[in-house]
Amino acid sequence: MARARTRRRKLSMTSLIDVIFLLLLFFMLTSTFSKFSEVELSAGGSGAVAPSETPPLFLQLKENTIGLNGQDVSLDVLAESSLSEAEDGAVVLVSLGAQVDSQRLTDLLVVLRRLPKLRVTVLGG
């Protein structure tokens, strides 16, 4: 008996290119293109601070609340509070609570950045 000869067909690349194009289109449409911004932080100095006539403002950042000099305020009204009336070069000391994540600190620093006359110092935990 003669064995039937099988002929191999060439592999078509058209369907592979279509699949790659669809995957590329899918990933382009589902990915997010967001602009990342920077928050400037400066390192602490030598510890010698020139005395100031105005006392520093104390801001306590907790997981759900923000305290400004002992009074609870929200993040939205923080810029309109006594921080906006502070003198040029006023010091704001930010104390972090135990459960504060980096996103909450970044949100606070973005709000404080709108007030360029403040000098913000984040106290270590």
pLDDT one-digit tens code per residue, 16-26: 888 999 999 99
> Which CATH number does 57-122 carry?
3.30.420
**Mean pLDDT, residues 51-71 taken together:** 82
Distance CA 65, CA 60 (A): 8
119 neighbors 90 (Cβ within 8 angstroms): yes
Q: Which among 55, 121, 71 has a CA at the least distance from the CA of 93?
A: 121
Task: Report the pLDDT value the prediction gives residue 26, as an integer from 0 to 100.
Answer: 92
Q: How confident is the model at residue 44 (pLDDT cuts 50, 70, 90)?
A: low
Q: How confident is the model at residue 1 (pLDDT cuts 50, 70, 90)?
A: low
Distance CA 12, CA 85 (A): 72
**Mean pLDDT, residues 61-78 taken together:** 83
User: Cα(first)–Cα(last) distance of the chain, in Å?
Assistant: 87
pLDDT of residue 125 exceeding 70: no
Task: Report the pLDDT value the prediction gives residue 49, as an integer from 0 to 100.
Answer: 59
Distance CA 41, CA 51 (A): 22
Task: Report the pLDDT value the prediction gives residue 43, as an integer from 0 to 100.
Answer: 55
**CB-based burial of residue 61 (10 Å sphere; 0-12 exposed, 13-18 middle, 19+ buried)?**
buried
